Amino acid sequence: MCGSSGIGAETARVLALRGAHVIIGARNLEAANAVKQNILNSIPSARIDIIQIELSSLKSVRAFAEKFLAMNLPLNILINNAGHFLLTNLLLDKLKTTAEKTGIEGRIVNLSSVAHVGPYSEGIKFDKLNDKKAYNDMMAYGQSKLANILHSNELARRLKEEGVNVTANSVHPAVLRAFTFFLWKDIPQGAATTCYVALNPSLKGVSGKYFADSNLEKPSAKARDEALAKKLWDFSEELVKNSKEATGIRGPSGFGSASTAEQVTEGIDASGLTVIITGGSSGIGAETARVMALRGAHVIIGASNTEAANSVKQSILQSTPSARIDIIQLELSSQKSVRDFADKFLSMNAPLNVLINNAGVMYCPFKLSEDGIEMQFATNHVGHFLLTNLLLPKIKSTADKTGIEGRVVNLSSAAHLTTYRGGIRFNKISDKAAYNDKLAYGQSKLANILHANELARRLKEEGANVTANSVHPGLIKTNLGRHSTIFVAVLRATTCVLWKSIPQGAATTCYVALHPSMKGISGKYFADCNIEQTTANGRNESLARKLWEYCSETLFKRTQGQVNL
């Protein structure tokens, strides 16, 4: 709870008085420590810890959660004395597990206000949340207090649906003195409703309700709007997701956005593996090749620029003299080059354990490949689709012979969020008139996800010991955006805290390709070394199947017929 002053401090005092171990999250540590000392003066046995938190900073919220979770304490009650969607989500698993282990109901209490009745006319201004022109301080406050109630209600609905022993409610602690001085409460009275909802046994099983004066009250119609509550939840999740990379917090895998490729592969012996990496002559492809070689893998780099690839090879050999690296020319926009690459690799009679489809182009001016396909789609998806299918028998046979799971990793991007309407423009993929370089890139990245998903489905159906997943490496400063320098410059300026180093950018690829915890996981999308949810298009099974059939039956007819599993 936040409790360095006012009713937060009084709530902390009363909870400590009743024997609870209280964790105070506070921006002002000096004030919070003064509260702690004051409580200890009257209650010497009080157990109080203080962790700094600035609720306006998502990075600070995540840091608070990490520090608390590192204490390995249970968590029975979370009192959101100042609004905290992200904090609740970060601590929810701990609340659930504590309730399950102890049999004691977990409780979440959001402090709202009667001011929730006076927000903007639409309730929540989703499209103008940060619009200075339309800002009204009183309405903005009312909007935030409405959001507290809607958050509690939607959380309560989800918890009930999940069947967990945790409740969520919202409270109005006191009436503002400025409006109705005769209704003004003192601080102990103001803390009463919060403490009642947090501790009283009569509240067992009560969830999704709004309280004032320690009794149930009916909030405004907007506060009871289930559709608005769900919309706010989805909107808030997207805001939180977009900020995640800036924080470096570790997810369930034990790794996060700040993790490097070396860190996520530490202790892994890949000496018996052969790994193909496309586009390994620069950027995260080169770093992926370096780390794979460092872990002992035989690395095959497929590169259009063999001179640059040889420079990468020499650099790796200087730091890892025992590295085994071969280079084969590969131009992914050319189906002939892709087939030549596959032929040359297969003639080496080497095994193949991991295929990393890394290469790509971004935001290109409109251009057709030599096969008559729009360049971004040809390079980022079609080339990898063909290459994967040509090498799949080798990956399967290697897995059969060695008993080691084969893995296919497609590098996608969060850019799959922004594509043409419908996801894939099957009838206009190479149509110059309707071309948009940003949407075309997003389309190709969506295709990478759909390809991995459909491949995973087919491999599972076949019973093959091979997995297929897609990854978002993060925002990384490489030469990939060379065709749209102004846009990339603006993007960097406005999202500077989200950008990763190249070692961090290669981490998710290396994690999915090598980590033993990935065994058996297939058809998933990863970011920051953890499973993430894609867009609805990215989860569309029929769209994935249609894309597979489109590429297999249409794009390759003119060469060697259909390419099938």
Each residue of 209-220: pLDDT tens digit? 999 889 999 999
What is the reported pLDDT for 248?
56
Residue whose structure tokens are 């075309």: 440
Q: Is the pLDDT of residue 498 over 60?
A: no
Given a cut of 60, whether residue 296 has pLDDT beyond it is yes
Q: Which of 23-32, 110-119, 202-211, 298-307 bottoms out in mean pLDDT, i.e. has the lowest?
A: 110-119
Q: pLDDT digits over 500-519, tens only?
A: 789 999 999 999 999 999 99
As a whole number of angstroms, the distance between CA 381 and CA 384 comes to 5
Q: Is the pLDDT of residue 271 over 50?
A: yes
Nearest by Cα to 229 from 147, 128, 126: 147
Report angle CA 381, 411, 548 to the nearest 5 degrees: 35
Lowest-pLDDT range of 290-299, 329-338, 430-439: 430-439
Q: Strand 525-527 vs strand 530-532: parallel, antiparallel, or unpaired?
A: antiparallel
E strands present in 112-184: 166-172
The predicted pLDDT at position 344 comes to 98
Q: Domains in the chain, please, with CATH?
A: 53-246 (3.40.50.720), 261-555 (3.40.50.720)
DSSP code, position 188: H
Within 10 Å of residue 132's Cβ, how many Cβ atoms? 6
Q: What is the pLDDT of residues 402-423, one digit of tens each?
A: 999 999 999 999 888 888 888 9
Q: Which residues are catalytic?
A: 435
pLDDT value for 82: 60
User: Which residues touch 467 (CB under 8 Å, ≥6 apart)?
Assistant: 405, 406, 407, 408, 456, 459, 518, 520, 521, 522
Provide the sign of the torsion angle of the four alpha carbons 372, 377, 378, 384, taken in this order.
negative
Q: Which pLDDT value is given to residue 174?
A: 62
131 pLDDT band, cuts 50/70/90, is confident
pLDDT at 558 over 70: no
151 has pLDDT over 60: yes
* pLDDT tens track for 211-251: 988 999 999 999 899 999 999 888 887 776 655 444 456 78
Helix 226-243 vs helix 137-162: crossing angle, to nearest 10: 100
Percent of the chain whose pLDDT exceeds 90: 62
pTM (predicted TM-score)? 0.59
pLDDT band with cut points at 50, 70 and 90 for residue 130? confident
Q: pLDDT band at residue 113, thresholds of 50, 70 and 90?
A: confident
Assign 173 to helix, strand or coil.
Answer: coil
Q: Is the pLDDT of residue 495 over 60?
A: no
Number of other CB atoms surrounding residue 22 within 10 Å: 25
- Residue 1 is predicted with a pLDDT of 58
Share of the chain above pLDDT 70, in %: 88
- Res. 486: pLDDT tops 50: no
Return the H-helix or E-strand segment holding 110. Answer: strand 106-111
What does the pLDDT read at residue 565? 42
490, pLDDT greater than 70: no
Q: Span 100-126, mean pLDDT?
A: 87
In the block, tokens 């970060």 appear at 90
pLDDT, average across residues 474-503: 50
- The mean-pLDDT minimum among 75-89, 95-109, 117-131 falls in 117-131
Question: Mean of the pLDDT values across residues 468-491?
Answer: 60
Q: Lowest mean pLDDT: which of 39-48, 327-336, 491-500, 528-537?
A: 491-500
Q: What is the tens place of the pLDDT at every residue in 154-187?
A: 999 999 998 999 999 999 886 433 333 444 556 7
* Predicted confidence (pLDDT) at residue 293 exceeds the cutoff of 60: yes
Range 476-506 burial, b when 16+ CB lie within 10 A, else e:
bebebbebbeeebeeeeeeeeebbbebbbbb
CA distances from 392 to 386, 455, 494 (A): 10, 10, 41
Residue of 135, 102, 104, 110 lying closest to 120 (CA atoms): 135
Residue 204 corresponds to which tokens in the numbers above? 């067992």
> Residue type at 270?
A
Both tokens assigned to 129: 């949340």
- Quote the tokens at residue 541: 């099974």
Residue whose C-alpha is closest to residue 414's, from 333, 532, 280, 284: 532
Mean pLDDT rounded to a whole number for the chain: 87
Distance of CA 172 to CAs 13, 41, 222, 379, Å?
Answer: 19, 30, 16, 57
The whole-number pLDDT of residue 249 equals 61
